[in-house]
A and B are shown apart, each in its own frame.
Chain A
Amino acid sequence: MTGKKALLISMLILAGMCVLPLGLGIYPQHVLIVSLFYVMMASSWNLLAGYTGQVSFGHAAMAGIGAYASGILAAKAGINPWIGICLGTVLAALIGLGLGALCLKMGGIYLSLTTLAFSQILHIIIVNEYDLTRGTMGLQVPSLMAEYDKLVYYYIMLAAAVLILSILYRMIHSNLGLNFRAVQNDELAAKSLGVRVLQVRVLAFTVASAMAGFAGGLYGHYLLLVTPEIPSLDLQFYVLAMTVIGGMGSFIGPIIGAFALNILAEKIRDYGEYHVLVFGLIALVVARFAPNGLLGLWKKFKPIKPIQAVKQKAFPTP
């Protein structure tokens, strides 16, 4: 797909997304807003797992950092939520930088272990610091606007998602993106070609953490109640399943995955709380048999232009 065609299609989709909620009721609007939150989460997690080959289990925790930072500042200190969201984003980035610098030099497994431990610790802190966080009851936080309006929230989330996606898109298609993918494909070879592997990995982790913090901050001020559900392993699993099922390492995969799973979850909820189990089983099968997700599967069955083995000398004369 050429750049112009892709731009045109995304403009059309964006226009569609702008008019989509107009005829809908409050509940479908809510589902769409939550889906947009997941689009930001899954796409930024994909920057890690899909593009640099590092698996963080603390992405939901970073969203929690953003949500609680901004929520506490607004609820306890009366700071404007928008400033709070910015501060939460910065805090998530700093924590990402710290954790990344600490464990990435030891290799990918250490990042997975440390981020999992981090999300567990964050949970414990939130539950124990009741005065600050209201524990499992949840912290009531102010709205982003004077008069609560779902439609306005929808457009805010849409704008935020477009912002995150365009940053990701530019990054992936820049020199940095090439380095990301080189590191994911073969760390040793990348190093031998002058790629500063550690720096590249820490950077990706910091950026992804910041994005999760930003999304979490917005999400908290939308829900008006920040609970330990945000930095939970369940939400982390959700983000992972959306990316894995949609298509890791592709730009659109996680976007489709986020919408599909979140809407599907609402349908399954009608029958009981089985959606996590169902998604788990689907994700297991997809990760095992179609590591590039449903999008990868589709690409695989689309015929690729056969490349003729051109008759040539083994080594040409330069």
Chain B
Amino acid sequence: MALLEGRKISKSFGGVQALSQVDFAVDPGTIVALIGPNGAGKTTLFNAVAGAFKPSSGRVVFDGRDITGQPADTVCRLGMARTFQVTRPFAAMTCLENIMVAAINRYPQKPRSFIEGFAREKLSLVGLADMERLEARHLNVVQKKRLEMARALGTDPKLLMLDEVLGGLNTQEIHQAVEFIRNLRDKLKLTVLWIEHVMGAVMQAAERVIVLDQGKVLMVGTPHEVVNDPRVIQAYLGE
């Protein structure tokens, strides 16, 4: 059974149809990429799934539960964590505190020593161990993206939702990042739903690819199928 399933999700803002009848499924333990040209509705779909807003119609089923329209905090406590396309760190809090916020709401009964250890572990996972006492506003963009990933991991999620974490990286770094996320999935037994604008990078990491275009699912397939599909090429060229 799929860990996350969207059934005929639609969302309109005012008169603009941002998503129409989107069906998709994410199987447990897989890395699924959600790609599409700018304005295809990728982040809108993320928001509708993660509870930032309610879809106009359709259902979201996560881990066997209908979570349609549930607020973001409830969804998070059920095991879904996300990052933001434009990072939103707690700027005036230290890196460690940023992750502790996630951890205390996941494990409210645990003592402070456990929380700190747990948070530190996530911080070193993304390579920010030596910055734990630095306020997050001092980080650069790439570091902020990593902090957000660590923070999402701090909620000990079943499903990790990444929104364009490769921005600002060079080719070699992108390669490392892909490696990193694959390893992460294996080590923490995660499922990953990953939005990326750049097609190439995700192709190395993902097992399945969902292509969105103009608010609709254009196709679903393996990376190989997707890159060779004329409709996908058309959608990207038409940009």
Contact = CB atoms under 8 A, between A and B. Distances in A.
Interface string A180-195: 0110011011111111
A298 interface: no
A175 B52 CA distance: 24
B105 A194 contact: yes
B227 interface: no
Given A194-B76, A314-B142, A316-B127, A182 B71 contact: no
B218 interface: no
Contacts of B72: 188, 191-192
Given A195-B105, A318-B187, A310 B92 contact: no
A207 interface: no
Contacts, number: 106
Interface residues of B, number: 48
B90 A186 contact: yes
A310 B134 CA distance: 13
Contacts of A185: 89-93
Majority SS of interface residues in chain B?
helix
Interface in B148-162: 151-152, 154-155
A2 interface: no
A287 to B, nearest CB: 17
Contacts of A194: 73, 76-77, 102, 105-106, 155
A196 B104 CA distance: 12
Contact of A307 (B131, B176, B179): B131
A190 B181 CA distance: 24
Interface in A274-318: 307, 310, 312-318
Contacts of B82: 192
A179 B103 CA distance: 11
A135 B82 CA distance: 56
A2 to B, nearest CB: 13
B120 to A, nearest CB: 14
B92 A178 contact: no
A316 B122 CA distance: 12
Q: How large is the interface on A (under 10, 10 to 19, 20 to 34, 35 or more residues)?
A: 20 to 34
Interface string B137-172: 010001000100001101100000000000001000
Contacts of B126: 315-316
Given A179-B101, A182-B101, A188-B52, A315 B180 contact: yes
B155 A193 contact: yes
A72 interface: no
A197 interface: yes
A195 B179 CA distance: 31
Given A188-B88, A189-B84, A195-B101, A314 B183 contact: no
Contacts of B184: 318
A181 to B, nearest CB: 6
A181 B127 contact: no
A189 B106 contact: no
Contacts of A312: 127
B173 interface: yes
Nearest to A292: B92
A307 B143 CA distance: 14
Nearest to B184: A318
A182 B93 contact: yes
Interface of A: 175, 178-179, 181-182, 185-186, 188-197, 249, 307, 310, 312-318
11 contacts: A182-B93, A185-B92, A186-B88, A190-B90, A195-B105, A312-B127, A313-B176, A314-B176, A315-B179, A318-B184, A318-B187
Enumerate the 10 nearest inter-chain pairs by beta-carbon distance, A residue then B residue, closest first. Answer: A194-B105, A315-B180, A185-B90, A314-B173, A194-B76, A189-B88, A316-B127, A175-B104, A182-B101, A191-B72
